[in-house]
């Protein structure tokens, strides 16, 4: 494991929309619906993360519908359980497309591997997709012209590690990562950043389904790195930390953006996390300045069926789903159309909203994440203040990250 448009009222309140595919198709044909297709893992290892994103999308849909929908069309949310399996995700999407009426927007999965499997199809179909997966392979406007990232790309997390490593005088950094698209992308990013900063990079990879990484960690320890970066999605991150503790290695360890999301304090003892730090978004810390609409958004999350997610994923993943749909609505408003080519053009030249931004993850001033997309970049940009490393913690009852507390 390894993530914001116009105000049409502050997009909050949960509604599980009826998902009758036939009815949705009829409404779209009559020009009255805007169909959002969300494919994710509803029953597997990352289902908790998926539930938060799902709820965020539906929160956004209800508020936008209350304000007239998107370009006058009612938003209808459809979901598919791909179980985080790229092959299954492709099959389900193809089944959906065979109905004849295409979705207007797709959130393409909960992992980069799934997103990469879907984008060729979505590109051929000219369907706009907005998602929170962050592989740098996804940011290819030539290959995937209709896809836009909502979450900060992996490369934007690396500077926080480099600043810390330079301050501590590290010379060699090792990395343990999953041998899949997500892990390989993360390794490529950290390798480039570490070597560009004049430090040596050593690596070891594990299969994404592995339960024991002691062999790979011993391989890294034999090379005497000053610090270790760990990549892992979902329970893979837990197995990596357990393996580290099992071999008794307390080298300073820094989680990448995916592995930082795991609730370590709920699953490991304090001594098993010695010298471990996670990278977090500054906006998710309780000490940070809050977006004026955030408290109401959190209250509606807590009142909905996915409320349990507020203390497991924090409010940030809810915002990932919410802001994806909000961004699409903002772009459609700028384009004055739901035509995919017009939305694409609008996305590549989005004006920054005046005043407080209507998306949460950018912070109250909209300066922590900006959606300054262009014809050559379809991922958001960040500032030096966007991320920071802190000891492992957990999310409070309001969904804010608190170090040292499960």
pLDDT, one tens digit per residue, over 172-196 is 999 999 999 889 989 999 999 999 9
Average pLDDT of the chain is 91
β-partners of residue 206 are 178
Percent of the chain topping pLDDT 90: 80
Backbone angles phi, psi at 355, to 5 degrees: 70, -155
* 172-178/200-206 β-pairing: parallel
Angle at 270 between CA 264 and CA 276, to 5 degrees: 65
Which residue shows structure tokens 């957990």?
Answer: 394
Task: State the sign of the Cα–Cα–Cα–Cα dihedral 302, 305, 311, 315.
Answer: negative
User: Is the predicted pLDDT of residue 143 greater than 70, yes or no?
Assistant: yes
pLDDT in tens, 317-329: 999 999 999 999 9
Give the total residue count for the chain. Answer: 406
What would the DSSP string read from start to end of 196-227? HTT-EEEEEEE-TT-S--HHHHHHHHTT--SE
Percent of the chain topping pLDDT 70: 92
User: Is the predicted pLDDT of residue 61 greater than 60, yes or no?
Assistant: yes
Which residue shows structure tokens 């760990």?
Answer: 230
User: Is the predicted pLDDT of residue 356 greater than 90, yes or no?
Assistant: no
Q: What is the three-class DSSP state of 310?
A: helix
pLDDT tier, 3 (very low <50, low <70, confident <90, very high otherwise): very low
Return the pLDDT at 131.
97
Give the side-chain half-sphere CA count within 13 A for 272.
Answer: 15
Mean pLDDT of 300-314: 95
**CATH code for 157-284+388-403?**
3.40.50.2300
Residue 264 tokens read as 């370590």
Mean pLDDT of 350-368: 89
Mean pLDDT of 382-394: 93
38 in Cβ contact with 78 (< 8 Å): yes
Compute the chain's Rg from CA coordinates.
Answer: 20
The reply to whether domains 21-154+288-383 and 157-284+388-403 share a CATH topology is: yes
User: Is the predicted pLDDT of residue 4 greater than 50, yes or no?
Assistant: no
β-partners of residue 76 are 35
Please tell me the distance from the alpha carbon of residue 12 to that of residue 299, in angstroms, as a whole number.
Answer: 9
Return the pLDDT at 7.
35
Return the pLDDT at 30.
32
115 in Cβ contact with 96 (< 8 Å): no
Return the pLDDT at 14.
30
| Of residues 404 and 305, more confidently modeled | 305
In the chain, domain spans:
21-154+288-383, 157-284+388-403
Burial class (CB in 10 A: 0-12, 13-18, 19+), 177: buried
Return the pLDDT at 6.
33
Buried b (16+ CB within 10 A) or exposed e, 195-205: eebebebbbbb
Please tell me the distance from the alpha carbon of residue 168 to that of residue 343, in angstroms, as a whole number.
Answer: 46
Return the pLDDT at 100.
85
The DSSP H or E segment spanning 80 is strand 74-81
Mean pLDDT of 263-281: 95
pLDDT tier, 154 (very low <50, low <70, confident <90, very high otherwise): confident
| Of residues 406 and 157, more confidently modeled | 157
Mean pLDDT of 82-95: 98
Residues 6+ apart with CB under 8 A from 378: 138, 139, 140, 141, 144, 147, 148, 149, 347, 348
pLDDT tier, 11 (very low <50, low <70, confident <90, very high otherwise): very low
pLDDT tier, 32 (very low <50, low <70, confident <90, very high otherwise): confident
pLDDT tier, 384 (very low <50, low <70, confident <90, very high otherwise): confident
| Three-class DSSP labels, 122-157 | HHHHCCEEEECCCCHHHCCCCCCCCEEECCCCHHHC
User: Is the predicted pLDDT of residue 350 greater than 80, yes or no?
Assistant: yes
Q: State the maximum Cα–Cα separation within the chain, in Å, rounded to a whole number.
A: 65
Return the pLDDT at 25.
37
Mean pLDDT of 342-355: 94
pLDDT in tens, 236-261: 999 999 999 999 999 999 999 989 98
β-partners of residue 393 are 403
| Alpha carbon distance, N-terminus to C-terminus of the chain | 19
pTM of the shown model: 0.80
CATH topology of domain 21-154+288-383: Rossmann fold (3.40.50)
Look at 22-36, 271-285, 372-386 and tell me which has the smallest mean pLDDT.
Answer: 22-36
Return the pLDDT at 31.
61
250 in Cβ contact with 195 (< 8 Å): no
Return the pLDDT at 227.
99
Q: What is the three-class DSSP state of 105?
A: strand
Q: Strands of 253-255's sheet, edge to edge?
A: 200-206, 172-178, 227-230, 253-255, 276-281, 387-390
Mean pLDDT of 371-378: 97
pLDDT tier, 96 (very low <50, low <70, confident <90, very high otherwise): very high
């Amino acid at each position: 494991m390894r993530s914001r448009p116009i105000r049409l009222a502050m997009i909050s309140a949960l509604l599980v929309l009826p998902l009758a595919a036939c009815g949705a198709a009829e409404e779209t044909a009559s020009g009255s619906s805007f169909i959002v297709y969300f494919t994710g893992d509803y029953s597997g290892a990352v289902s908790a993360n998926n539930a938060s994103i799902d709820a965020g999308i539906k929160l956004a849909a209800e508020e936008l519908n209350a304000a007239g929908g998107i370009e006058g069309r009612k938003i209808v949310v459809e979901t598919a359980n791909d179980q985080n399996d790229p092959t299954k995700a492709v099959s389900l999407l193809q089944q959906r497309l065979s109905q004849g009426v295409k979705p207007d927007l797709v959130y393409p999965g909960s992992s980069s591997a799934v997103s990469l499997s879907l984008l060729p199809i979505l590109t051929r179909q000219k369907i706009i997709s907005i998602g929170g997966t962050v592989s740098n392979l996804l940011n290819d406007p030539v290959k995937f012209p209709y896809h836009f990232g909502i979450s900060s790309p992996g490369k934007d997390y690396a500077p926080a590690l480099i600043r810390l490593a330079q301050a501590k005088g590290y010379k060699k950094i090792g990395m343990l990562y999953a041998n899949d698209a997500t892990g390989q992308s993360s390794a490529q990013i950290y390798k480039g950043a570490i070597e560009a900063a004049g430090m040596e990079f050593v690596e070891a990879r594990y299969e994404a389904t592995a339960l024991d990484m002691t062999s790979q960690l011993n391989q890294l320890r034999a090379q005497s790195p000053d610090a270790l970066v760990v990549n892992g999605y979902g329970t893979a991150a837990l197995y990596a930390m357990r393996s580290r503790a099992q071999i008794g290695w307390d080298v300073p360890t820094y989680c990448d953006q995916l592995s930082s999301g795991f609730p370590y304090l709920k699953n490991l003892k304090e001594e098993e996390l010695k010298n471990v730090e996670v990278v977090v978004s500054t906006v998710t810390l309780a000490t940070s300045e809050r977006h004026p609409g955030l408290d109401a958004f959190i209250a509606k999350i807590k009142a909905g069926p996915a409320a349990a997610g507020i203390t497991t994923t924090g409010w940030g993943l809810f915002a990932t789903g919410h802001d994806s749909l909000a961004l699409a609505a903002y772009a459609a408003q700028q384009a004055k159309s739901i035509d995919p080519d017009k939305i694409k053009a609008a996305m590549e030249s989005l004006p920054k909203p005046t005043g407080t931004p209507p998306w949460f993850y950018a912070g109250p001033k909209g300066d922590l994440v900006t959606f300054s997309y262009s014809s050559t970049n379809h991922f958001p940009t960040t500032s030096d203040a966007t991320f920071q490393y802190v000891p492992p913690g957990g999310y409070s009852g309001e969904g804010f990250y608190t170090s040292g507390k499960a």
